Amino acid sequence: MLGRKNHNPTTEHIREKRQAIRHERWKNRAQAAAWYGLLAEVFLLSLSPGLATAALLIGIAGTALRFYVDETFHFRHLRFDVPAVLFVAISGLSVLASPDRGFSFYNYYNLVGVYVLTYLLVGQNVRRPAQMKSILRLAAASAAIVIIYGYYQFLFGIDISSMKWVDGDAFPELRKRVFSTWENPNILAGYLDIVICLAFGLFVYCKNRERRIILGVFMLAAAACLAMTYARGACLVIAVILAGYGILKDRRVFIACVVVVAILFIADPVLYERITSVFTKVDTSTEMRLAFWESTIAMIQDHPFLGIGWGAYWMVYPEYDFYLQGANVLIVHAHNIYLNYMAEIGIPGAVAFFWFFFGTMILALRTNFPAAQAEQAPKRGLRAAFQWKRLWQDWNENELLEGLAKGIGLAVLSIALNGLTDDLLFNIPSSMVFWMLASLAGVLSLLSPPKTAKAKETSAYGEGAKKFLSGLTSSAWQNAKEAKDKVNEKVQSKVNGVLYREAPAEPETETKETPASEKAGDEAKAQKTAAKTKSIAKASPDEAESAKKETDGTAAPVAEKPLDPMDELAEEVRKALLQRKQEEEATKASAEAEKEPAAAPKAAEPAGKEPQDADAAEEKADKQETKVKEAKEDTGEKKENEKMPVKAESAETETEAKEAEGHEEDKRNIKGDD
């Protein structure tokens, strides 16, 4: 069939496999473009800003392609994305307040664009701890080149007197201020502060001898290059940071800082004069900064919301010039990072930016990684062979990430302190470095595991405070335990006293203590049983049967349980009432039986039978008298054993006594008749 296409399953499978291979190849290409573009930017940023920007664009293109072809690659939000977005939006609105909106908009999308793209490139592509190691290698190589080139400038001489970077009248001997690959000695000094802080963070958390030696040498070289810039603010900032850390954390760092500063002052008296001039005299640069700050404050007061426009400081400053008075000098920033941002983008925009700025610093300082369980390495002497491979191959990832996080936090702190006297972020490469550090801080916070309670306690307090708190807690716990034991002893003694006073006596103890009373009670019960048996004989058949069951114990059994004295008294009263009722019924029946035989002989029988009836009546009266006596004895014994009066028994005794008197009277009558 010519109209049909030939669908071969094998061909379809091969085509799908080729598409999968092609798709995987594009994924790898996109990932490589993004990653190598990032590494190129890190390396070239301090050497060639133009090439670094080109590398940034390549990395962003690779990242966009990676979002398109890689299904597993998703956009990731960092901790301070919200203030960053607010800063970008408010900065864009500030263009509307600029006296030259075209220039401000051009400056805005070029500068803010590279800042945001750098933040996105690093934040979206760095997702594994191993990638941090590659970034640090290239950053260290780039910083080493900058430092070496600074030494070259200092050794072979660069006359900077024509560049107006120093007051020649105040410092006539100062003719060399290195700036290396950066535009200005102050910008280079700010960059070296960042480099020293990063190296110091790695040095503190590094446990390997080779790496500590290399990092220590690197910091000394960077400090010497920093001294060659003669930047007073940057030198004081790094000294304050390291000395403050030494005072708070490790006194050895403070001592090392003092020794290094003393060596530099001794080696270069001009440096000593330059640094001490901050506290002793005022030169033209200091006076100009004060004038710039006064003019900038006036700008902020006049434009508090949207500012004067992004990058429009140099256009607006002549209107607020209180110092130069129309001199042909271009002033591009306020020499203060805080005043400059408030003047150009307004107070709301400055609040958003510094939320992002200081939030990044605090986030980096608070990011923690648990110490890894490293294997016990054999101890080596001071003369052991130096192993270069241990510099990067054996670096523990947790130590690396912890040191990098603390180094980033200190680096941002150095920018904040330098910003009091200079605006380092006005420089484009410096701002790109800051946004790169901010993105790395956000990535490190995502890589760090959640803090445990122990880690939080360790991060909140130093070792000395921790030991003090642990000792205080243990002593307080011991005191609380002793107090609890004392209270328990008192409570137990009181409980035992109450139990011993109120608990009923044991059955065995009662048996041993009162055997006579029990014996008397048994005898009384036996006499009661005999009396009931006698009364049964005279009762009716039904009543006799019920009384017999009760006497013999054939009635429904009652569960035996120990009774208290009141229950026993109630039981005795009930039995006495029951016995009285039975006796009354028996007496009534016997009285009726006696009346019938007594009347019959008088009326019907002859006189000869009267003696026999009299003898029978006399015998019956004797029996009734015996019964009354037994009842009296039974009642007397019961009262003696229990030693408490029972009204029911007294009434029964009186009734029996009356019945006995009646029987006596009948007996006398019978005898009288005889």
Mean pLDDT over 202-209 rounds to 86
pLDDT category at 328 given cuts 50, 70, 90 is low
pLDDT tens digit sequence for 490-531: 656 655 554 444 444 444 444 444 444 444 555 555 555 555
C-alpha 291/C-alpha 335 separation (Å) is 10
DSSP labels, 386-431: P-GGGGTTT--HHHHHHHHHHHHHHHHHHHHHHTTT--GGGSHHHH
- The structure tokens listed for 168 are 């020649």
C-alpha 16/C-alpha 22 separation (Å) is 10
Quickly count: other Cβ atoms within 10 Å of residue 634's Cβ: 23
Mean pLDDT over 448-467 rounds to 56
Q: Is residue 59 over pLDDT 90?
A: yes
Q: What CA–CA distances, in Å, run from 46 to 53, 59, 180, 234?
A: 11, 18, 10, 18
Mean pLDDT over 87-110 rounds to 93
Quickly count: other Cβ atoms within 10 Å of residue 460's Cβ: 10
pLDDT category at 558 given cuts 50, 70, 90 is very low
Percentage of the chain surpassing pLDDT 70? 62
- The structure tokens listed for 280 are 């002793």
Mean pLDDT over 234-263 rounds to 90
Which pLDDT value is given to residue 578?
83
Q: Picking from 269-273, 606-610, 656-660, which range would have the lowest pLDDT averaged per residue?
A: 606-610
pLDDT tens digit sequence for 125-163: 999 988 999 999 999 999 999 999 999 988 886 655 545
Quickly count: other Cβ atoms within 10 Å of residue 38's Cβ: 28
Which pLDDT value is given to residue 48?
92
pLDDT category at 321 given cuts 50, 70, 90 is confident
pLDDT tens digit sequence for 3-40: 445 567 788 888 888 999 999 999 999 999 999 999 99
Rounded to the nearest integer, the mean pLDDT of the chain is: 76
pLDDT tens digit sequence for 372-397: 444 334 444 444 555 555 555 667 78
- The structure tokens listed for 166 are 């120093």
- The DSSP symbol for 161 reads G
- The structure tokens listed for 367 are 């990011």
Task: Give first-to-last CA distance, the chain, whole Å.
Answer: 157
